A and B are shown apart, each in its own frame.
Chain A
């Protein structure tokens, strides 16, 4: 299905957020997620279903002021 990953149209097979994070290559990385603007905690990713058109944000640590 088509979702938006960090602003880019992306095709995924996974239907849960947990599986999508793995499929998209973030396995083992320190990242946080939000779906459609709402934070989804790491432990809730397995039960979070994704549907066509969802906006997924995946963020990681970066320099900041």
Chain B
């Protein structure tokens, strides 16, 4: 059954977005991307040494994998840095998509929501399709939507922590508050069960990197994450039962033999 997810005007089947960093080797990265079934991978820009060719080799490998790229502004701490990086990314990667990160605090890599909203407005007005890396803060999310964002990407937990969904209630509230936006849990996923939990809440997709790249067997973990995302989505669509505090017998009581 086709169940595509739409990012701006682009529909894809895979609800798992995968990062390309931290793998033991480029070959293992490629294997993991294939095993994940991801149709969108995140990429970045970094200084290229004069005469160096590392960037070109990486880009050739990514292009051979037949995936869409979502460039990020990782490491940017100011609006200006993020906006300049987004422009450079649009030229290099040939896409208006930008995963917008404006980092506000170094220990947690928590987004600077004030700078994020400002940068999102500037970039949306300039024709970018902005994928903001945000928190579950509803006010910031409203401002991002007003700035033109049709995708919101709240963190599950700090980047690279593998802690899972630190604020279930907040993430559920965000889903309920923004029924129209494409919502992606980005960052903090460590286990397939974390990814499944996000999808069971009704999130449209999950973006992760470290959980796969730093697994002992990245390709196997990529496959496990893909399965978890699929299962979580199917569970959400199946309309789960309401949880309750007390037991409710599943075996019928009527007709039970009287044996005492």
Contacts and interface: CB of A to CB of B under 8 A. Distances in A.
Contact of B210 (A24, A39, A61, A65): A65
Interface residues of A, number: 27
Contacts of A29: 48, 53, 55-56
B200 to A, nearest CB: 24
A21 B206 CA distance: 39
B256 interface: no
Interface of B: 19-23, 29, 42-56, 58-59, 62, 71-72, 74, 80-81, 84, 87-89, 91-93, 159-160, 209-210
A31 B47 CA distance: 9
11 contacts: A26-B48, A37-B80, A39-B88, A39-B91, A61-B43, A63-B43, A63-B44, A64-B20, A64-B42, A65-B19, A65-B42
Given A29-B55, A29-B56, A59 B92 contact: yes
Contacts of B209: 65
Main secondary structure of the interface of B (DSSP, over half): mixed
Interface of A: 5-7, 10, 24-26, 29-34, 37-39, 41-42, 57-65
Nearest to A42: B91
Contacts, number: 111
B99 to A, nearest CB: 8
Given A59-B92, A63-B29, A30 B55 contact: yes
Given A41-B87, A60-B45, A63-B21, 19 more contacts: A10-B50, A29-B48, A29-B55, A30-B55, A30-B56, A31-B55, A31-B92, A32-B88, A60-B52, A60-B59, A61-B43, A61-B55, A61-B56, A61-B62, A62-B43, A63-B19, A64-B72, A64-B74, A65-B44
B47 A59 contact: yes
A61 B43 CA distance: 7
Nearest to A39: B87
Given A25-B51, A58-B47, A64-B42, A32 B19 contact: no
Top 8 nearest A-B pairs (CB, nearest first) are A60-B55, A64-B44, A65-B19, A32-B88, A65-B209, A60-B48, A39-B87, A25-B51
B85 to A, nearest CB: 8
B45 A32 contact: yes
Contacts of A39: 84, 87-88, 91
B47 A65 contact: no
Among A25, A31, A57, A64: residue with most chain B CB under 10 A = A64
A7 B50 CA distance: 12
Contacts of A38: 84
Nearest to B75: A64
Contacts of A32: 45, 87-89, 91-92
A6 B43 CA distance: 20
